[in-house]
C-alpha cells in the first residue's frame, strides 16, 4: 500500500538557517505530493503541492521538487524564521484522485531567535 | 468566507460510550473526509463522503460510522469507545477531487 517516510524530528535551527526535511514515498501509479503544516493547537494547512514528476511546489519561501526517480519530495527553505516553528507533514494521494491522503508521521521544527 | 468548522472543540467520554463529532465544510465544497490523528503521529484516513454516500474507507472498524447531510455537513460517530480512540479528529472538505482544506479538529479523550 501507499506509505510516506519522513525524517525523524525534532529539528532545531537558529533563525536564518537553511532547512531540509526529507520525505520519501511508496505508491502505486503517479501520486500527487503535498506538504502540510500544523501550528500549535490548529488544524493542518496546505503549504505546497506537486502533481507530476519534476514539478516544483513553492509557497512562503518553502520549496519541494517531485523526484520520481528517487521517490522523494524533500522540503527546503533558505532562511527560516521563528514563525516557521510548527509540525510539517509530507503526504500523498494516489490513484489519480484526491480521495485519500496518506501522511508521514510529521517533523517538529523549532526555530530559535 | 468561513473555513471548515468542527464541533465540539474538546470532548471527554468514558470507555464504552458513544460519541458524535460534527463538521461543516468550507463554502462551495461538497466532499468531506475524516482523519484520526493520534498524539505524535500523522493523520490516518477514516472515510470520505460525497453526495451523502461513503466513497472510500480506510482501515477502521465498523464502530466508526459517518453521515453526510444534503447541505454537505457531516457527522462522525464512534460506538463502544476504547481508550485507543483518544485522538484529534480532523475533518477536511474539498470540491470533488480538488485539494482538501482541514478544520481545527476535535480533541477526544476517552477515560
The pLDDT of residue A8 is: 81
CA B63 to chain centre: 13
A91-101 average pLDDT score: 76
Q: What is the pLDDT of residue A74?
A: 98
Backbone φ and ψ of B89, nearest 5°: -105, 120
Give the rounded percent of residues in chain A with a pLDDT score beyond 90. Answer: 81
Which of B:47-86 have CB within 8 Å of A? 48, 55-56, 58
Query: What's the whole-number mean pLDDT along residues A90-100?
Result: 77
Beta strand segments in B27-86, E: 31-37, 44-50, 53-57, 64-68, 74-78
Indicate yes or no: CB of B33 within 8 angstroms of CB of A101. Answer: yes
B43 touches A at CB < 8 Å:
yes
Q: What percent of chain A has pLDDT over 70?
A: 96
Confidence band of A111 (pLDDT split at 50, 70, 90): very high
Q: Which pLDDT score, from 0 to 100, does residue A3 have? A: 94
Q: What is the pLDDT of residue B62?
A: 96
Minimum CA–CA partner of A90 in chain B: B42
For testing contact with chain A, the best of B42, B59, B96, B101 (most A CBs within 10 A): B42
Query: CB distance A101–B105 less than 8 Å?
Result: no
pLDDT at residue A48 above 60?
Answer: yes
Q: Which site among A35, A100, A105, A108 would you substitute to test the B interface, given the most B Cβ atoms closer than 10 Å to its Cβ?
A: A100
Residue A97 is predicted with a pLDDT of 56
Alpha-carbon gap: A92 to the closest alpha carbon of chain B (Å): 11
What number is the average pLDDT over the span A8-17?
94
Nearest residue to A112 via CA among A19, A8, A5: A19
Q: Which of A20-29, A72-81, A95-104, B61-70 has the weakest average pLDDT? A: A95-104
- C-alpha B67/C-alpha B28 separation (Å) is 18
Amino acid at each position: 500500500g501507499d506509505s510516506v517516510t519522513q525524517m525523524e524530528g525534532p529539528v532545531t535551527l537558529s533563525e536564518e538557517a537553511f532547512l531540509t526535511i526529507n520525505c520519501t514515498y511508496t505508491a502505486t501509479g503517479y501520486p500527487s505530493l503535498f506538504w502540510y503544516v500544523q501550528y500549535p493547537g490548529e488544524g493542518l494547512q496546505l503549504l505546497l503541492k506537486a502533481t507530476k514528476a519534476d514539478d516544483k511546489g513553492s509557497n512562503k519561501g518553502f520549496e519541494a521538487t517531485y523526484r520520481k526517480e528517487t521517490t522523494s519530495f524533500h522540503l527546503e527553505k533558505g532562511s527560516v524564521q521563528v514563525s516557521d516553528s510548527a509540525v510539517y507533514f509530507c503526504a500523498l494521494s494516489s490513484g489519480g484522485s484526491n480521495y485519500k491522503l496518506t501522511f508521514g508521521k510529521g517533523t517538529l521544527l523549532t526555530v530559535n531567535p | 468566507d468561513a473555513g471548515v468548522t468542527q464541533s465540539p472543540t474538546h470532548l471527554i467520554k468514558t470507555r464504552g460510550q458513544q460519541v458524535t463529532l460534527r463538521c461543516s465544510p468550507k463554502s462551495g465544497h461538497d466532499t468531506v473526509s475524516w482523519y484520526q490523528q493520534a498524539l505524535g503521529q500523522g493523520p490516518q484516513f477514516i472515510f470520505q463522503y460525497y453526495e451523502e454516500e461513503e466513497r472510500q474507507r480506510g482501515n477502521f472498524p465498523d464502530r466508526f460510522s459517518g453521515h453526510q447531510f444534503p447541505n454537505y455537513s457531516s457527522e462522525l460517530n464512534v460506538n463502544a469507545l476504547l481508550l485507543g480512540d483518544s485522538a484529534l479528529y480532523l475533518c477536511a472538505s474539498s470540491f470533488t477531487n480538488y485539494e482538501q482544506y482541514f478544520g481545527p479538529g476535535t480533541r477526544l479523550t476517552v477515560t
